[in-house]
Each structure stands twice: as structure tokens, then as C-alpha cells.
């Protein structure tokens, strides 16, 4: 069974949530929240001559992407006007909340800190925020068809990356020697990977269906009339 999230997950790590990071360049960190490469090397139980700081940073980025995905589904469900899409966004958001909990548990099992926001995770947070920026800022300035399509495109992009993160995690697990770390990685992948494949399939196929419905809808006179009638047509097809 999938490991369930017991509470609403943290979507952005801050000082108040216990966030920690690595001081680099212009990133200033309070001493009690600073993490060094040496500390990561000592804490994380990954054998086989692996680059432990890189793996810790990559896992942090994977976790950050899941958190951004959960935020995306919340926004998409709030902005969408289609009950079928809203229902699917809410279903996938609940599963993504569980995936966040699974990543946090895996990082802990490997000896890491789920609150560690690696440099790669910080960049991932920014990429996730940019994916949401357009639909949020322009929701009141675009027609319904454009908004629904853009939200769905954002889900397609996010889910392909999410699925690929789990594929890479599986490969990292295969590279580990037999032992507790490899078993923990394999168990996490087993719990999630089939759901991620379904997320990608649904998002891609629904985007194709939405685009084809829009493309084949008969053109009528008056831009607002076209938008309104096309929106209703799409709603009928996808419901």
C-alpha cells in the first residue's frame, strides 16, 4: 500500500518549518541551519563510493519538485471550470501529497534531513513557481479555453519531469550495493512509479483531446462567441 501523508505536507521549506541549506555564494544561513558537504557525507548511509552530497542534493530537488506539483494541482483545481478536470487534479494532488511523504521518509531512512533545501532544490522551487506564474497572474485576462489549456500543459510538463525523477531514482538504487539503502530506494520506487506513469498518460492524452476538440470546433462569427461556444464544447467532451 502507498504510504499516506498524515498531515498537509510542507510545500515550501522556510526557517519556520525547520528548513536548512548549504551556504554558497550569496546564500547566507544561520549557523544552526547550515549544512556542509562533510556533514552530508558523514550522515547519509549510502555505500559503494557514491557522491553522497550530490545524491542528497538530487533527492532534495526531487522532493522540491513533488511539493511544487502539489501546489500546481491545488491551483489548477481552483482555476479550472471543468468538473472532470477538477476531480482528476484533486485525485492526483492527494497522490502527490503521499509521494511527498514517501520522499521525506526515504531521505530520513538514508540518514538525511527532509528539511535540507539543497542548491538544486532551491532552483527547482523557482522553476516550479515560474510554471505557476503565468496561469495565476493572467487568470483574469485570458479566455477560459486558453486558461484550461495552459493549466493542462503545465501539468504535462510537471508530470513528465516527475516521472523521470522516479526513473532516475530507480537507476540510482540499482547502482547501490545490496543493503538497507538500496532496499529503501527500491521500496519507494515500487510504491510510486505506476502512479506516475498514469499521471503522465492521463495528462498527455487529455491535453491531446483538448487540443483536437479546440482545433476541430467550427469557427463562428465574433471572437467572444467562438470562445464561449468552444468552452462549452470542450466541457461536454471532457465531462
Q: Is residue 14 part of a domain?
A: no
Residue 221: give its domain's CATH number: 1.20.1260.10
d(C-alpha 97, C-alpha 91), whole Å: 10
Residue 117, beta-bridge partner list: 21
Confidence check: pLDDT of 230 > 50: no
Question: Is 6 inside a domain boundary?
Answer: no
Measured CA to CA, the distance from residue 117 to residue 216 in angstroms comes to: 46
Instruction: Say if 190 falls within a structural domain.
Output: yes
Residue 222 within any structural domain of the chain? yes
- pLDDT value at residue 2: 45
Among residues of the chain, what percentage have pLDDT more than 90? 50
Q: How far apart are CA 20 and CA 35, in angstroms?
A: 7
Grouping H, G, I as helix, E, B as strand and the rest as coil, residue 80 is coil
Q: How confident is the model over 21-55, as pLDDT tens digits?
A: 656 665 666 666 666 666 766 667 776 678 888 89
User: What are the angstrom distances between the C-alpha of 194 and each of 6, 94, 99?
Assistant: 22, 15, 12
The CA-to-CA distance between both ends of the chain, in Å, stands at 30
Query: 90: pLDDT confidence band, cut at 50, 70 and 90?
Result: very high
Identify whether 128 is part of a domain: yes
Express each pLDDT in 97-151 by its tens digit.
999 999 999 999 999 888 888 889 999 999 999 998 988 888 888 888 888 899 9
Instruction: Give the other-Cβ count within 10 Å of 1's Cβ.
Output: 4
Cα 184 from Cα 173, distance rounded (Å): 9
Is residue 12, in this structure, part of any structural domain at all? no
- Domain residues for the domain of 75 are 20-238
pLDDT band at 238 (very low <50, low <70, confident <90, very high): low
Could you tell me if residue 4 is inside a domain?
no
Residue 141: the pLDDT is 80
pLDDT at 143: 82
Q: Is the pLDDT of residue 203 over 90?
A: yes
104 CB neighbour count, 10 Å cutoff: 22
Separation of alpha carbons 164 and 109, rounded Å: 22
Please state the domain count of the chain.
Answer: 1
Q: What's the pLDDT score for residue 218?
A: 58
Report pLDDT for 33.
66
The conformation of residue 34, written as its DSSP 8-state character, comes to: B
Instruction: Using alpha carbons, select from 161, 162, 159, 61 the residue that is nearest to residue 112.
Output: 61
Residue 132 included in any domain = yes
d(CA 34, CA 169): 26
Most confident of 115-124, 164-173, 209-218: 164-173
Which is more confidently placed, 91 or 7? 91
Q: What pLDDT does 62 receive?
A: 97
- Percent of all residues in the chain with a pLDDT value above 70, rounded to a whole number: 77
Amino acid at each position: 500500500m502507498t504510504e499516506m501523508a498524515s498531515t498537509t505536507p510542507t510545500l515550501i521549506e522556510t526557517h519556520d518549518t525547520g528548513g536548512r541549506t548549504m551556504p554558497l555564494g550569496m546564500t547566507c544561513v544561520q549557523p544552526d541551519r547550515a549544512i556542509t558537504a562533510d556533514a552530508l557525507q558523514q550522515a547519509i548511509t549510502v555505500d559503494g563510493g557514491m557522491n553522497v552530497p550530490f545524491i542528497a542534493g538530487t533527492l532534495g530537488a526531487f522532493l522540491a519538485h513533488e511539493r511544487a506539483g502539489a501546489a500546481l494541482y491545488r491551483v489548477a483545481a481552483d482555476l479550472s471550470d471543468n468538473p472532470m478536470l477538477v476531480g482528476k487534479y484533486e485525485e492526483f494532488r492527494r497522490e502527490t501529497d503521499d509521494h511527498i511523504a514517501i520522499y521525506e521518509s526515504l531521505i530520513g531512512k538514508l540518514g538525511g534531513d527532509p528539511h535540507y533545501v539543497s542548491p538544486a532544490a532551491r532552483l527547482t522551487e523557482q522553476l516550479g513557481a515560474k510554471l505557476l506564474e503565468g496561469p495565476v497572474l493572467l487568470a483574469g485576462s485570458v479566455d477560459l479555453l486558453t486558461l484550461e489549456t495552459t493549466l493542462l500543459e503545465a501539468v504535462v510538463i510537471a508530470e513528465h519531469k516527475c516521472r523521470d525523477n522516479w526513473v532516475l531514482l530507480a537507476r540510482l538504487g540499482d547502482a547501490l550495493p545490496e543493503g538497507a539503502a538500496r532496499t529503501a530506494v527500491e521500496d519507494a520506487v515500487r510504491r510510486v512509479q505506476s502512479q506516475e506513469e498514469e499521471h503522465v498518460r492521463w495528462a498527455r492524452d487529455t491535453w491531446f483531446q483538448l487540443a483536437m476538440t479546440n482545433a476541430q470546433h467550427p469557427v463562428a462569427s465574433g471572437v467572444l462567441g467562438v470562445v464561449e461556444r468552444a468552452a462549452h464544447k470542450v466541457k461536454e467532451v471532457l465531462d
